[in-house]
Structure 1
Amino acid sequence: MAYEIEEQKKVGLGLIGFGIFFSVLGIILFFDRGLLALGNILWLAGVSLLLGWRSTLQLFTSRSNYKGSLSFFLGLFFIFVRWPVVGIILEIFGCVFIFGGFWPSVKVFLFQIPIIGWVLQYPVLLLDRLKSFG
């Protein structure tokens, strides 16, 4: 295999997946506070296992990420005090701010996945061809 993942990172990816699943389920079920809180806890635990405790702490306490971290944890607080809509909006803003630098790496990774990569690249290739005709 091209990429070997150790067991701790596999568990971290699983927790992130379950966290996203419970968060989406909580949003679909009219912002159910319990599911959203469970999704957030699983997601944070998964990120911590995937990156490591020290790297996660550095990611959230970095000077360049202070707006995103504050927004994310304020959103988490709002979910716990029964304002889930405001909390989710703040968390999404925080995640975009914190993980904004990772998007190019994620894009390259997704393009390398056999079926998903082709589906994601197809509109880009189509737009490039349309530009070359114009």
Structure 2
Amino acid sequence: MWLSDRQKIGVGLVAAGVFLQFLAILLFFDRPLLALGNVSSCAPARPLTPQILFLTGLPLIIGPTRTFYFFSRREKWRGTVCFFGGIILVFAKWPKIGILVEFVGFIGLFGSFFPVVLQALRQIPVIGSFLSLPYIRQAADRLAGVRQSAV
């Protein structure tokens, strides 16, 4: 499957957003890291936070209409409210609470994708053999919510 140039830019933005989010959590919500994406260092600009990178990349990948329908589906309302509420809390300078609320929303929105991601990771050479080890396989299946059939 080939990606268009627009989709490649979207994948880059989403990947950068996820990486900066992970780095901000790893460094205990360091304020300079959250402001890392400033557009200009000499002009007082709002920080380009990882959430904005993620939210601008997603419509570039799947399109604006499908993004709107994804976030507005009835069964995803709770996840959508938590996700956007967490972003608002981060902007309101409560990053720790905001990230936690946003994480709950992320699980509510994208929780059904975890088994697909786990299956894709199992096909990567080194990671796949690691994820196939007996106890790690059981733990990964339990975390991803994969139902195991009785054989």
- Between the aligned partners of 2:24 and 2:53, the Cα distance in structure 1 is 13
Shift of residue 37 of structure 1?
Answer: 5.6
- Between the aligned partners of 1:62 and 1:11, the Cα distance in structure 2 is 26
Shift of residue 12 of structure 1?
Answer: 1.6
Q: TM-score, normalised by structure 1?
A: 0.81
- Between the aligned partners of 2:5 and 2:125, the Cα distance in structure 1 is 23
Give the AA of the match of 1:16: V
| Counterpart contact for 1:37–1:79, Cα < 8 Å | no
Q: What residue in structure 2 maps to residue 69 of structure 1?
A: 80
- Between the aligned partners of 2:109 and 2:81, the Cα distance in structure 1 is 10
Q: What residue in structure 1 maps to residue 125 of structure 2?
A: 114
Cα shift readout 1:4-60 (whole Å, capped 9, x = no counterpart): 333322222211111011112222333124359611111111222122111111111
Q: 1:24 aligns with which of 19, 22, 39?
A: 22
4+ residue segments displaced more than 6 Å: none
Unaligned runs of 5+ in 1: 126-134
Change (3 A) 1:18 1:56: same
Q: What residue in structure 2 maps to residue 53 of structure 1?
A: 64
- Between the aligned partners of 1:109 and 1:55, the Cα distance in structure 2 is 23
Q: What residue in structure 1 maps to residue 93 of structure 2?
A: 82
| Counterpart contact for 1:37–1:76, Cα < 8 Å | no
Alignment length (residue pairs): 123
